[in-house]
């Protein structure tokens, strides 16, 4: 097993929680978060990391195990770990851009297991190497911890067979390239069946906006797949020439179309059929979080009306009863003429993707094409540019669950909301009481609101 773009802390902890009630081994981990120096792209900077490592430690578990993670944050910031590398102080840059309304900063490189690879400056001594034996088949675990963009990934001269996504089986997809969104995970089989040698595993940005965007991160991140054995390697590993370029739509679209649940006897699907809550959500939200957009218009047209473009910060959430069956339609828009993909991510529950397509969702005709045979079960789905996606899930996990676009910049611009799933009627279907030793939060939301109020109050005016 190998994590690539690894170290996505949030995701690993979440898996631990899903497995809480099942039987199996018990694992204890101690995470200490503190500042440490790292050098990439010829410059050294201090970062908040877990157990002095970047990316963080890997948690290895088997289905049914229970994982305890004690996290001690000795730094001054909250933390998620990402696979994009910024030379500067990313916290500072993002905060400045949010204040001024600028687009958040572009990364200077992407990393594979923490390394930008041979094609980036000052990086070739530390390029990540993966040694394989000829004839064996390996399971590659792809985790996209990239902050703001989708990524194409390929290995020179090697096919990829995608067999899982978001921890659920899919019908095997034989391909030479995958497109992975922030927050997505994939299980990929790779057979080492090529002549002994060294081959680049490479990834680069896929840009679904395309028009008018100039400053994106054009670096190619690489690692090396290296055959064990006696041979003289070529001077330079071969590069995957099939890796699409930034503006190449079709490989992404073709790949997304092929994602289907395995849906067999051992791994059946169970799509909710008694929908009591239907939500049709476009990229705009109001303070009192609605089941529908504030107005309906041709969401994907070229010149959309200006008065529909304002988003508002709010604190309203959507309550769900325990085991309520929910359908959500996400609608992409062309507002401000910047349509693009949005990787929509739900915490706490996986969902079935029962439909997706381009243009404006039609509530009369589109449900007739819903896929109830083999819809993929995911926790992050790519809402295609100027398109729509329909999902269903059963709210069987009580708690407070964020759902949001997984582009960090869109999340920070409030493309998000919260579901609160109520407790069921038994202790087993309810949230556990917090343990008595759980310390109270030092920096509560209320105190942060007060900080805003004391700074300039601008932001607070928008909060109801
Ligand atoms: Cu988005």
**Rounded to 10 degrees, what is the CA torsion of 369, 374, 380, 384?**
-40
Last residue of a domain, one of 257, 287, 307: 257
Percent of the chain with pLDDT over 90: 54
One domain, residues 94 and 28: yes
Q: How far is the CA of 300 from the centre of ligand 1 (A)?
A: 15
**Phi first, then psi: what are they for 450, rounded to 5°?**
-65, -35
One domain, residues 219 and 347: no
Q: How far is the CA of 245 from the centre of ligand 1 (A)?
A: 21
One domain, residues 201 and 288: no
One domain, residues 179 and 237: yes
Q: How far is the CA of 385 from the centre of ligand 1 (A)?
A: 10
Q: Tell me the per-residue pLDDT of 414-453, one tens digit each, with 9 for 90 and over.
A: 888 888 899 999 999 999 888 787 776 655 555 555 554 4
**Phi first, then psi: what are they for 437, rounded to 5°?**
-85, 0
* Residue 345 lies inside a defined structural domain of this protein: yes
Q: How far is the CA of 3 from the centre of ligand 1 (A)?
A: 25
One domain, residues 306 and 405: yes
One domain, residues 383 and 250: no
Q: How far is the CA of 121 from the centre of ligand 1 (A)?
A: 30
Q: How far is the CA of 406 from the centre of ligand 1 (A)?
A: 6
pLDDT at 98: 80
Q: How far is the CA of 427 from the centre of ligand 1 (A)?
A: 37
Q: How far is the CA of 208 from the centre of ligand 1 (A)?
A: 11
One domain, residues 211 and 107: yes
Cα 375 from Cα 259, distance rounded (Å) = 8
One domain, residues 239 and 153: yes
Residue 333, domain extent: 277-427
- Give 10's pLDDT tier (boundaries 50, 70, 90): very low
One domain, residues 158 and 293: no
One domain, residues 123 and 236: yes
* Residue 20 lies inside a defined structural domain of this protein: yes
Q: How far is the CA of 89 from the centre of ligand 1 (A)?
A: 23
pLDDT at 212: 59
One domain, residues 205 and 313: no
How many domains does the chain fold into? 2
Q: Output the CA–CA distances (angstroms, integers) from residue 57 to 7, 28, 339, in the order listed.
A: 7, 13, 37
Last residue of a domain, one of 223, 257, 291: 257
* Residue 452 lies inside a defined structural domain of this protein: no
Q: Mean pLDDT across the chain, nearest whole number? A: 84
One domain, residues 343 and 414: yes
* Residue 439 lies inside a defined structural domain of this protein: no
Cα 124 from Cα 127, distance rounded (Å) = 5
Cα 289 from Cα 418, distance rounded (Å) = 9
* Residue 406 lies inside a defined structural domain of this protein: yes
CATH number, domain containing residue 73: 2.60.40.420
* Residue 463 lies inside a defined structural domain of this protein: no
Q: Tell me the per-residue pLDDT of 25-63, one tens digit each, with 9 for 90 and over.
A: 999 999 999 999 999 999 999 888 899 998 888 889 998
Q: How far is the CA of 255 from the centre of ligand 1 (A)?
A: 19
Mean pLDDT for the stretch of residues 452-464: 41
* Residue 380 lies inside a defined structural domain of this protein: yes
* Residue 222 lies inside a defined structural domain of this protein: yes
């Amino acid at each position: 097993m190998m994590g690539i773009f690894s170290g996505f802390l949030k995701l690993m902890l979440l898996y631990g929680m899903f497995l809480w009630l099942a039987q199996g081994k018990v694992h204890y981990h101690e995470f200490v978060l503190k500042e440490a120096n790292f050098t990439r792209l010829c410059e050294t900077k201090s970062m908040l990391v877990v157990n002095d490592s970047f990316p963080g430690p890997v948690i290895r578990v088997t289905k049914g195990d229970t994982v305890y993670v004690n996290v001690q944050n000795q730094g001054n910031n909250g933390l998620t770990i990402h696979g994009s590398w910024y030379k500067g102080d990313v916290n500072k840059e993002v905060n400045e851009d949010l204040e001024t309304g600028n687009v958040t900063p572009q990364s200077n490189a992407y990393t594979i297991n923490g390394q930008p690879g041979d094609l980036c400056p000052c990086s070739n001594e530390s390029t990540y190497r993966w040694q394989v034996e000829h004839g064996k088949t390996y399971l590659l675990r792809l985790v996209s911890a990239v902050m703001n963009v989708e990524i194409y990934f390929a290995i020179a001269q090697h096919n990829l067979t995608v067999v899982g996504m978001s921890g659920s089986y899919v019908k095997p997809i034989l391909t030479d390239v995958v497109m992975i969104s922030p927050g997505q995970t994939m299980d990929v089989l790779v057979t080492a069946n090529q002549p002994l040698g060294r081959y680049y595993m490479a990834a680069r940005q896929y840009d679904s906006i395309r028009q008018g965007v100039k400053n994106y991160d054009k670096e190619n991140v690489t690692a090396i797949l290296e055959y064990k054995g006696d041979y003289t390697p070529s001077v330079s590993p071969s590069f995957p020439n099939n890796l699409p370029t930034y503006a190449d739509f079709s490989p992404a679209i073709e790949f997304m179309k092929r994602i289907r649940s395995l849906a067999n006897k051992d791994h059946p699907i169970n799509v909710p059929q008694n929908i009591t809550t239907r939500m049709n959500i476009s990229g705009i939200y109001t303070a009192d979080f609605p089941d529908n957009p504030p107005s309906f218009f041709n969401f994907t047209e070229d010149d959309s009306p200006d008065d529909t473009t304002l988003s508002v910060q709010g604190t309203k959430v959507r309550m769900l009863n325990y085991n309520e069956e929910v359908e959500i339609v996400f609608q992409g828009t062309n507002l401000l003429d910047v349509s693009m993909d949005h990787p929509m991510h739900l915490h706490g529950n996986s969902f079935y993707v029962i439909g997706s397509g381009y243009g404006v969702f039609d509530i009369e005709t589109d449900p007739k094409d819903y896929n109830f045979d083999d819809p993929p079960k995911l926790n992050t789905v790519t809402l295609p540019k100027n398109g729509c996606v329909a999902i269903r899930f059963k709210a069987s996990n009580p708690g407070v669950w964020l759902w949001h676009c997984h582009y960090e910049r869109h999340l920070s611009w409030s493309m998000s909301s919260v579901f609160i799933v109520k407790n069921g009627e038994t202790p087993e279907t309810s949230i556990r009481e917090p343990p008595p030793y759980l310390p109270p939060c030092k920096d509560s939301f209320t105190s942060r609101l007060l900080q805003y109020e004391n700074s300039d109050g601008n932001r607070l005016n928008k909060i109801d």
